[in-house]
Amino acid sequence: MPINLQGVRQYLSELRNSGGLHKDQAEKYRNVLMEILKSTETELAESLKAFVEAIVNENVSLVISRQLLTDVSTHLALLPDLVSQEVSHFALDVIQPRVISFEEQVASIRQHLADIYERNQNWKEAANVLVGIPLETGQKQYSVDYKLETYLKIARLYLEVDDPVQAEAFVNRASLLQAETTNEQLQIYYKVCYARVLDYRRTTAFQNVSYLIQRREMSTVTSIFYFGENVPGSDHQALGAARVRSPNADASEGNVSYLSFGTG
């Protein structure tokens, strides 16, 4: 018969006050975890939260805490999404004061939580969860491929919610790493994300010019510069132009107003 929440708390309290070798303690905690995983769904989340809170306590050896939290993060992927999501958020909150001690486990939990959000098409939440992984500022040294893949995944998720500015920021971070990887799949992934960001730039620029035309505000344009040559102004030529000058501007280059769209 699975133990209930009260029983879980009692077992954990007894373990916290018991002595013994680290190996024996870790095994006892694992036995409790296995019993918790047999719980009904109504008690599973609360029992797991009690377990996580107990194992990250400073009274528990850091070696044991890391091992057990790794076990928990592994089992989270096998649980119903709602339970897993609730426990994951709780774990991240309770670990936060000691996050430097659990960087690897936190990264694993965040990756799993992002997968849940992505499955449910909550793209922005998935991206925000991944942003919380300290890929550059933490003590753990992540591999080039891990960092590159994570940055590109974040960029792709931001593109899903039409946020090319945030996407470009992470594509730029990835650009510093893509030359260091030998993983052809990641190199292709980078090129696809980079191309999508450029496409957003181009689309936005053409939409801006089209809006000016539709509002008949192109009369404010006195000259159009295209590939460095002065071309007579017209609506169609404006769509292909790279920069415009206002009628009140003087001839200096500093007064040229740029429309940043790609050359295609």
The arithmetic mean of pLDDT across residues 78-88, rounded, is: 96
The arithmetic mean of pLDDT across residues 105-113, rounded, is: 97
Rounded CA gap, 194 and 181, in Å?
16
Tell me the CA end-to-end span of the chain in Å, nearest whole number: 66
pLDDT digits (tens, 9 = 90+) for 113-129: 999 999 999 999 999 99
Query: Which residue would you say has higher pLDDT here, 72 or 3?
Result: 72
Query: Which residue would you say has higher pLDDT here, 11 or 128?
Result: 128
For the whole prediction, is pTM greater than 0.95?
no
The residue to which tokens 């404006």 are assigned: 238
Q: Please return the burial class of 24, using the count of CB atoms within 10 Å of its CB with bins 0-12, 13-18 and 19+.
A: exposed
The arithmetic mean of pLDDT across residues 63-89, rounded, is: 96
pLDDT digits (tens, 9 = 90+) for 176-218: 999 999 999 999 999 999 999 998 877 765 566 565 556 655 4
Rounded CA gap, 178 and 190, in Å?
7
The residue to which tokens 């000691």 are assigned: 98
pLDDT surpassing 60 at residue 221: no
